[in-house]
């Protein structure tokens, strides 16, 4: 989760399973299911729901601004 700019809020024991509660930006979650399944041999799953809006970090904002200045291919 740290690599995806996320913050872990809680870990819950559910029988023999562990649930992780975290806040992660939506843009960072694309492709996560593939990584999660690879790490867990296909056994894990996840769900998402909207939590809140947050300001974008400056380095991410700069990347978005630069990408918008480039002409569309």
Residue 5 CA from chain centroid, whole number:
7
Distance (Å, rounded) from C-alpha 71 to C-alpha 32? Answer: 29
Three-point CA angle 28, 14, 50, nearest 5°: 30
Calculate the average pLDDT of the chain.
Answer: 91
| 73: pLDDT strictly greater than 70 | no
If you average pLDDT over residues 8-37, what whole number do you get? 92
Instruction: Give the angle 17-20-25 at the CA atoms, nearest 5°.
Output: 145
For the domain bounded by 2-69, which CATH number is listed?
A: 3.30.70.240
* Confidence label for 37 from pLDDT (cuts 50, 70 and 90): very high
pLDDT (average), residues 13-23? 92
Q: pTM for the whole thing?
A: 0.72
Q: Where are the domains of the chain?
A: 2-69
Those residues whose C-beta lies under 8 Å from the C-beta of residue 64, and which sit 6 or more positions away, are 56
Average pLDDT of the residues in 35-57: 92
């Amino acid at each position: 989760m740290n690599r995806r700019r996320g913050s872990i809020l809680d870990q819950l024991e559910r029988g023999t399973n562990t649930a992780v509660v975290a806040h992660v930006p939506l843009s960072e979650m694309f492709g996560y299911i593939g990584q999660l399944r690879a790490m867990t041999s296909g056994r894990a799953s996840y769900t998402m729901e909207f939590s809140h809006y947050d300001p974008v970090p400056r380095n991410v904002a700069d990347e978005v601004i630069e990408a918008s200045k480039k002409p569309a291919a």
